[in-house]
Amino acid sequence: MLKSSSLVILAFLALLVPGASARNAQTPTKIETAKYVIIMVPDGTGLADITAGRIKKNGVDGAPLAIETLDRIGYARTYSANNTVTDSAAAASAMGCGEKFINGEICFHADGRPHNPSLLELAKAKGMGTGLVATSTITHATPASFGGAHVKSRSCEQEIARQFIESARPDVILGGGFAKFNSQTPDKCGTQGDFVTKAETTGYTLLTNTIDLQRAVAKNPARVLGLFSREGMTPEYLRKPDTAEPRLPEMAKAALQLLERNPNGFFVMIEGSQVDWGNHDNNLDYQTGELLAFDEAVKVVLDWINAVPERKAQTLLVISPDHETGGFSIMGDENTPGLGSFKAGWTTKGHTGTDVVVWSQGPGSERLGRSIQNTEIYKVASKSLK
DSSP letter string, 169-212:
--SEEEEE-GGGGEESS--TTS--EEHHHHHHHTTEEEE-SHHH
Tell me how far apart the alpha carbons of residues 86 and 325 are, in angstroms, rounded to a whole number: 10
Tell me how far apart the alpha carbons of residues 284 and 46 are, in angstroms, rounded to a whole number: 13
Give the pLDDT of residue 336.
Answer: 84
Give the pLDDT of residue 30.
Answer: 53
Average pLDDT per 10 consecutive residues for the chain, totaling 386 residues: 41 39 39 90 98 97 98 98 98 98 97 96 98 98 98 98 98 98 96 98 98 97 98 98 96 98 98 98 98 98 96 97 98 88 96 98 97 98 92
Tell me how far apart the alpha carbons of residues 303 and 21 are, in angstroms, rounded to a whole number: 39
Give the pLDDT of residue 10.
Answer: 38
290, HSE (Cβ side, Cα atoms, 13 Å)? 29
DSSP letter string, 210-251:
HHHHHHHHHH--SEEEEE-SSSSPPPGGG--TT--SPPHHHH
Return the CA Rg of the chain: 23
Nearest to 164 by CA among 189, 181, 179, 182: 181
Give the pLDDT of residue 21.
Answer: 38
Give the pLDDT of residue 337.
Answer: 85
Judge contact between 106 and 150, C-beta under 8 A.
yes
Paired sense of beta strands 329-331 and 343-345, if any: antiparallel
Give the pLDDT of residue 273.
Answer: 98
- SS3 per-residue string spanning 51-82: HHHHHHHHCCCCCCCHHHHCCEEEEEECCCCC
Give the pLDDT of residue 15.
Answer: 40
Q: At what angle do helices 248-259 and 284-307 cross, to 10 degrees?
A: 30
* Residue 257 CB neighbours (<10 A): 15
| pTM (predicted TM-score) | 0.91
Give the pLDDT of residue 338.
Answer: 85
From residue 269, alpha-carbon distances to 42, 53, 83, 172, 173 in Å are 11, 22, 25, 10, 10
Domains within the chain, CATH numbers bracketed: 37-384 (3.40.720.10)
* Residue 295 CB neighbours (<10 A): 24
